[in-house]
Structure 1
Amino acid sequence: MSALIDGIKGNRFAVLGRAGMDLFADPIGVKSEDADTFRADLGGSSANICAGLVKLGSQSSLITSIADDAIGRFCMNRLNHYGVDTSYIRVVGGEYRMSLAVYESTLEDFQNVIYRNGAVDFQVTEEDMDQVDYGKFTALISAGTVFAAEPSRSATFRAIDNARNAGLPVIFDIDYRPYSWPSPEVAADVLSRAGEASDLIVGNDEEFGFMAGGIERGFEKARELARKPGRIVIYKMGEKGAITLVDGEEIHTGIYPVTAVKPNGAGDSFMAGLLASIAAGHSLRDAVMRGSACASIVVSQPGCAPAMPTTPELNKFLASHPGPTAAP
C-alpha cells in the first residue's frame, strides 16, 4: 500500500475522462421543464474530479479531447478558471460534440437529461496517451466511462500501462453509466479488467454488484478485488456509509447528513476529497470521512464543479456539523 499512498501524497494527478457542460435550473426547487433560467458551468465526472482536487490544494491535469466549437471552448475556459492543467487536451474538429447534462436542484422526481451523441471524449487515442509526460505526475485517475467505446477504451488501457511503466499508481472510479455502453455484458467484462489493473478502486454497491453479476454479490466482489496486497477498495453504500477494504482490514464509516437538493456530483467530490486528504497527511479513515463530507457539501448546493468545497470550506463544514452517522 505504501507505493499507492506515496503516489497520492505526491499530489499531482493525471485524470482521464470527459469534460462537459452542465445546465442546471435556477433557482433551487424549480423543475427543468418549468425553468425560465438555467445556469451553466463545467460538468463531466473527470472534469469535476479535477476541479475538486484543485480547490482542495492538489494539482490535476485532464487528459481528454474536446470539440472545436463554442461549447468545447466554454469547457476549456471553465477548466482554466478552476486551475486545471489543460495541456494534454486535444481539440477535435468535425461533428463530435461535448457532453451536456441538463438537471435541476430538487430531489422530487429528480431529472438529469444527458446528451452524449457523437461524444468527442471517446476520440482519445493511444497516440494521445503516449504523448503524456507521466514523469510530471504521481498518480493516474480514470473514471469508468472512458472504457465504454473505442478508441478511448484501448487508449485508456494504454495509459494505464504507461503509468505502470512510470511507477504511478492507478486509481479507478467505476462510475458505471449504462447509456454509454453497447451492452451490460461488455461493460462488466471491461470494467472488471480495469479493476484488476488498478491500485485504488472506488464504487458504490450497485456498481460492484454489476461487475459481480448481481447486487447481492457486490460486496464479495469488492472483497475479492481487495485481496491483492496493497490494493485499497472503497465500497460505498449511499446513506449507509462506506466500507474501506485494505490488507485484510475493513474500515466502516458513516456519512454527514445534509438537506440535499440533488444527487449528482457526490461521487466526484468524494474522490477529490479522499485523495486530497490523503495527500495532506490524513489517515485513510479520516480521508474517507473528509471525502464523505465533500459529497454532502456538493449535494446540498446547485451545480457540481462550482459546489466543490475548498479546504477552508471543508474544514468549516466538519467543525460545524454535529458529526457523522454511525458506521455500518
Structure 2
Amino acid sequence: MMDGKVKKYDVLTVGRSSIDLYSQNIGAEFTAIKGFDAFVGGSPLNIATGCSRLGLRAALLTGVGDDKVGDFILNFLRQEKVETAFIPRITGARSSAVLLGIQPPDTFPLVFYRNNAADSQLTIDHVNAIDMGEVRLIELSGTALNIEPSRSAVFHAVERANGHGVTTLLDIDFRADQWSDIRSFGIMVRALLPSIKIAIGTEEELLAAMLEDASQVTIEHQQISAPTVSGDINKAIANVLSLGVEILVVKRGATGATVYDNKGNKEEVPGFPVVPLNILGAGDAFASGFIYGYLNGWDVYKSCRMGNASGAQVVLQPGCANFMPTLEESLKFIEKHGGF
C-alpha cells in the first residue's frame, strides 16, 4: 500500500468526538446507575486512538467546544499522540457528550447530547487546512453526514483525498436518532459510496444504507448503536458493491467478518470469541486493527484478523478509546488464540 513517498500521517479520521460517561454499575438498569466514569469517544476519535496505539501516525479532524470538555478531549488525544492540529475550537458550540449503560450480555443503552454539537460544525475551510498530500488513508464516519456543515465537509474531504490518491475508507456508522428522517441516512451514504474504496459496516448498517421505510428500524432499550433493521442483506451487499466500492467488510461480531470485493470474491474471516463485558466501541477497534494491517501491506484476510483481535480485546473492557490495545497486546492476544 506504499506509494514511495513518506507521508506525515498514516491515517486521518473525520467526524465525531465526545466525552463518554460510562456507568460504574455494571449490570444495573439505567435508572439505578449511581455514578459514571469519564472517558472519551466518538467513532473517528476511537479509531484514531486505536491506530495510534498500534503505532500508526494518526490525526483527527473533529470539532470541540471552547469549553472544559473540549480541554478534556484534547488532553486525552495529546497523551495518545494523536495529531490535534486540525481540531478547531468552535465558539458558541458545545463538545458532545454521551451517557452509556452497561448491562451484559446484550443491553447497552445510549443517551446522546449533541444539540449544537461542535463536531457537527466542521466546514469546508477546516478541510482545506489539511494537506491531503501528506495523508495515506482517510477514514470517514457516516454519522458526520447527518447535518450541515459537516456533511459538506465530509464530501469535500473525500473529493480532495481522491484528488491526491489517498485511500478512502467509510465506516458506515448508523446512529438512527441522529437523523431527522432516517431514510436520509441511506441517501447520503449512497451518494458518498461511489467515491469510497473501502467500506466497513455491520449487517444492520448495510441494511440501513439501503433503507426504504422507517418501519424497518427498531430500537429497543435505547440501544442506538445496535438497532434491529429488517431487509435483504444479500441485496444490500450487492447494492453497495454496485456503487463502486472495491472492498466491503461486513462485521459479524464474535463470528468474525466477511469480505467482499468488486471482482465477485467472498472470504470468511473467523473472529476471536470472548464473553463481552461491553460491546460499545468494538467496531471502532476493528477498524483500527484493519487499517493497521492494510497500511502495512497485509492481505485483507490478515487485516481483518487484526481487526477482530482489536475488537475482541475492547469488548472485555468498560470503555472504548481508553482501552484500545497496543500492538504488543494485540500480537500476544492473537498468538494466544491460535494466530493469524
CA deviation string 1:5-49 (max 9, x = no partner):
447x97711111111111112264455543444221221111000
1:248 aligned residue (264, 267, 281): 264
1:232 aligned residue (247, 250, 264): 247
Kindly report the root-mean-square deviation, in angstroms, between the aligned alpha carbons of the 2 structures.
2.1
Alpha-carbon distance in structure 2 between the residues aligned to 1:18 and 1:235: 22
1:222 and 2:219 matched: no
Shift of 1:229: 7.2
**2:165 matched to which residue of 1?**
167
Q: Secondary structure at the match of 1:75?
A: helix
Q: Which runs of 5+ in 1 are unaligned?
A: none
Q: Secondary structure at the match of 1:140?
A: strand
Residue 99 to residue 231, structure 1, CA distance change in 2 (3 Å): same
1:280 aligned residue (283, 296, 308): 296
Residue 164 to residue 115, structure 1, CA distance change in 2 (3 Å): same
Q: Which amino acid aligns with 1:234?
A: V
**1:20 matched to which residue of 2?**
18
Contact 1:123 1:152 survives alignment (8 Å)? yes
Q: Which amino acid aligns with 1:103?
A: L
Q: Which amino acid aligns with 1:127?
A: D
Q: Which amino acid aligns with 1:208?
A: L
Alpha-carbon distance in structure 1 between the residues aligned to 2:166 and 2:135: 8
2:336 aligned residue (305, 313, 320): 320
Q: Which has the higher helix share?
A: 1
Moved more, 248-257 or 315-324: 315-324
**1:62 matched to which residue of 2?**
60
Aligned length: 318
**2:44 matched to which residue of 1?**
46
Q: Secondary structure at the match of 1:138?
A: strand
Moved more, 287-296 or 111-120: 111-120
Contact 1:48 1:304 survives alignment (8 Å)? yes
**2:217 matched to which residue of 1?**
none
CA deviation string 1:169-213 (max 9, x = no partner):
211000011111121221111011122210000011111112223
Alpha-carbon distance in structure 1 between the residues aligned to 2:248 and 2:331: 25
CA deviation string 1:252-279 (max 9, x = no partner):
1222111111121011000000010222
CA deviation string 1:61-83 (max 9, x = no partner):
11121100000111011111111
* TM score, norm. by length of structure 2: 0.87
Contact 2:189 2:209 survives alignment (8 Å)? yes
2:308 aligned residue (292, 303, 325): 292
**Same amino acid, percent of matched pairs:** 29
Alpha-carbon distance in structure 1 between the residues aligned to 2:87 and 2:309: 30
Q: Which runs of 5+ in 2 are unaligned?
A: 213-229
